[in-house]
Structure 1
Amino acid sequence: MTEAQILFACQKDHCYFKLIGELRYTNASGMDDLLERLFQQQQQPLCGQVVVDITEVTFIDSTHIGLLASLARHCQQHKLPRPLLFSRDDEIEHLLRGLCLDQVFDFAAQPRVQHTELTEVEPAAYQDQQQGQMILRAHQALLDLSDKNRAEFQSVVDLLKQQLPED
């Protein structure tokens, strides 16, 4: 099992994400917290262009895929260009395309060489309810991408809504 890492940098209005290892809901809080801080501001976000490198991802679950969908949705809402996603793993890329992420990301095989110093994003200290809300938001973002995703993940969203207490 390859330990998950989320690395991030913002340089000259470009936001770089590098995701590494096995990406599971249990290690998604850092990415979720970072997205909330970057895009939930009232003013224009720091990112003018978003670049995501998943060339070293060995496994990605639906929560992380939903977080990628959320990232793309934030870019759309802030009228930013489509995020650029670098992937080398055919199976992972096939999965992402099957869940319609190719409708909201531009895919490429090779990352451009960057001399950007990336910082590791630490996991956020989420309580159980916060973790559940994150999983719910991520899966709702997947639902919004296509009717096929809605058919596949609606039962997960419904179950989470039943189990999570109202705020």
Structure 2
Amino acid sequence: MEQGTVCFARTGNVVILKLIGNIRYQMGPSLDDYLDHLFARGDFEDILIDLTETRMIDSTCLGLLARIANNIHDRFGRKATIFSLHDDIDRILEGVGFSAVFNIIHGDLPLDCKMEKIADCDETREELAKTLYNSHRILCDLNEKNRAAFQNILDALRDDVPSISPPAPTTNEEKDKEDRNNKK
């Protein structure tokens, strides 16, 4: 299956991300790097995500989209927006609970902008694993259904990559669970 493309454009203070074709985990580090730079600059008021030409999107890239939702919510107190035309993509978005964190519009993005491909980055195996881990952690944090679906991926990545350490427990229940696991 041919790998897709992630493009961006700016119109005023709005950034548009367009995901074209089959969007897979191999593209994650490049998208993650683009988001790091975009969020560090902070020179935008909205991010519109165009999935109208997306044929498939995997959980890694869904986690990176959830990262966008978190940023928009934290900075502006509102939901980010996704445009989608395909029922199968809509089912994927609904399946991971995106309707709770995104405005999902079933139609074309009403802007016509010159798109530019995001830069590819050369990542190491460890950097790819960290992107996979962080994007799945964000998905798990969205809801319990996602946690049940993706926790095994987080566990496997933590076991496989020594530099990935689990986040510190934040509640007494989580601390008790971690203590029980450490005693095994």
Q: How does 1:2-151 map to 2 (within 5 A)?
A: 2-39=2-39, 41=40, 45-79=42-76, 81-151=78-148
| Matched residue type, 1:30 | S
| Matched residue type, 2:110 | V
Structure 2: 5+ residue runs without aligned partners? 165-184
| Matched residue type, 1:99 | V
- The CA distance in 2 between the partners of 1:140 and 1:102, in whole Å, is 18
Superposed CA offset, 1:18-44 (max 9, x none): 0001111112222111111111x2x6x
- The CA distance in 2 between the partners of 1:137 and 1:112, in whole Å, is 29
- The CA distance in 2 between the partners of 1:79 and 1:35, in whole Å, is 17
- The CA distance in 1 between the partners of 2:154 and 2:130, in whole Å, is 10
Q: What corresponds to 2:157 in structure 1?
A: 160
| Matched residue type, 1:27 | M
Contact preservation (8 Å) 2:24, 2:60: yes
Contact preservation (8 Å) 1:8, 1:120: yes
Runs of at least 4 residues off by over 2 Å: none
Deviation at 1:2, TM superposition (A): 4.3
More helix by share: 2
Superposed CA offset, 1:77-110 (max 9, x none): 2225311101111111111111011111101122
CA RMSD of aligned residues (A): 1.5
**Residue 112 and residue 152 in structure 1: after superposition, are their counterparts in 2 closer, same or farther (change >3 A)?**
closer
- The CA distance in 1 between the partners of 2:10 and 2:133, in whole Å, is 27
Contact preservation (8 Å) 1:19, 1:56: yes
Contact preservation (8 Å) 1:28, 1:123: no
Contact preservation (8 Å) 2:50, 2:109: no
Deviation at 1:59, TM superposition (A): 1.0
